[in-house]
């Protein structure tokens, strides 16, 4: 399994505060890697750097053997690096179908104008229905996004990110605010996605992380303190003291 993305000594500081400190991180072509750590550990900052939302102060990001350090989010999405955010970013008044079709159309480089190619629109429409079915949203296709249950809104956000045909998908706390049943549903979906693409998950729900992750990276004070399988992380004393022990 070839290496898909790696970071080399990535740093980011805000004023005198080092939010990300010499992070060397790597993932392969598929599978699920979770990034955990206490509040303020630098998890979201690190994802923001890799996905182009903020610039690294130092270090390199390599994707498919190309240096992509400090490229724009738009460029990175075109290369196959997509993400969701902690806060919903849906078109609330549009239907589930319209939200996803717009995302899919954007990835095809087109628009929804009347003079767009009918063939192109047909292909996008077919893709949209296929994605809705795959992610269990087909029955809700006509419903405005604002009328969805919170968990279904988060699933739609993942679907919109998947519309970009990502090679790697970053999910930032997708289960925040969810009920246990909603968490179980989306965790199964995420695990299924990770069979085909690389998924990187930032998550506070330790039961979920331990049950679905292939690998776990632990951040503390902006730097990596441990990496390994869920079992290795669960039994790591340094990790327990830094994070897991507090949760327990």
Average the pLDDT over each of 38-42, 119-123, 141-145 and give the range with the smallest value: 119-123
Residues of the chain with pLDDT > 90: what percent? 71
Residues of the chain with pLDDT > 70: what percent? 90
Tens of pLDDT, residues 61-83: 999 999 999 999 989 999 999 99
Helix, strand, coil share (%) of the chain residues, nearest 5: 40, 25, 35
Burial-class residue 182 by CB neighbours within 10 Å (0-12, 13-18, 19+). Answer: middle
Average the pLDDT over each of 51-60, 116-125, 170-179 and give the range with the smallest value: 116-125
Q: What is the pLDDT of residue 147?
A: 96
Burial-class residue 79 by CB neighbours within 10 Å (0-12, 13-18, 19+). Answer: middle
Dihedral, CA of residue 182, residue 95, residue 197 and residue 236, to nearest 10: -30
More confidently predicted of 204 and 68:
68
Coil vs helix vs strand at 3: strand
């Amino acid at each position: 399994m070839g290496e898909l993305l790696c970071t080399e000594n990535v740093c980011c500081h805000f004023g005198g505060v080092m939010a990300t400190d010499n992070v060397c991180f790597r993932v392969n072509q598929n599978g699920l890697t979770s990034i955990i750590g206490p509040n303020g550990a630098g998890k979201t900052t690190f994802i923001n750097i890799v996905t182009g939302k903020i610039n690294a102060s130092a270090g390199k990001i390599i994707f498919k053997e190309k240096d992509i350090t400090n490229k724009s989010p738009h460029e990175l999405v075109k290369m196959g690096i997509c993400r969701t955010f902690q806060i919903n970013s849906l078109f609330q008044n549009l239907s589930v179908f319209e939200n996803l079709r717009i995302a899919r159309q954007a990835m095809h480089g087109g628009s929804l104008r009347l003079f767009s190619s009918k063939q192109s629109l047909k292909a996008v429409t077919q893709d949209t229905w296929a994605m809705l079915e795959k992610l269990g949203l087909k029955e809700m296709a006509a419903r405005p996004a604002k009328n969805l249950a919170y968990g279904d809104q988060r699933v739609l956000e993942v679907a919109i990110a998947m519309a970009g045909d990502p090679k790697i998908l970053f999910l930032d706390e997708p289960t925040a605010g969810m009920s246990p049943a909603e968490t179980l549903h989306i965790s199964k979906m995420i695990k299924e996605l990770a069979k085909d693409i690389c998924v990187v998950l930032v998550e506070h729900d330790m039961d979920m992380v331990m049950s679905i992750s292939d690998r776990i990276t632990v951040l503390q004070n902006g730097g990596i303190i441990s990496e390994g399988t869920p079992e290795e992380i669960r039994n790591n004393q340094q990790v327990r003291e830094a994070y897991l022990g507090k949760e327990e």
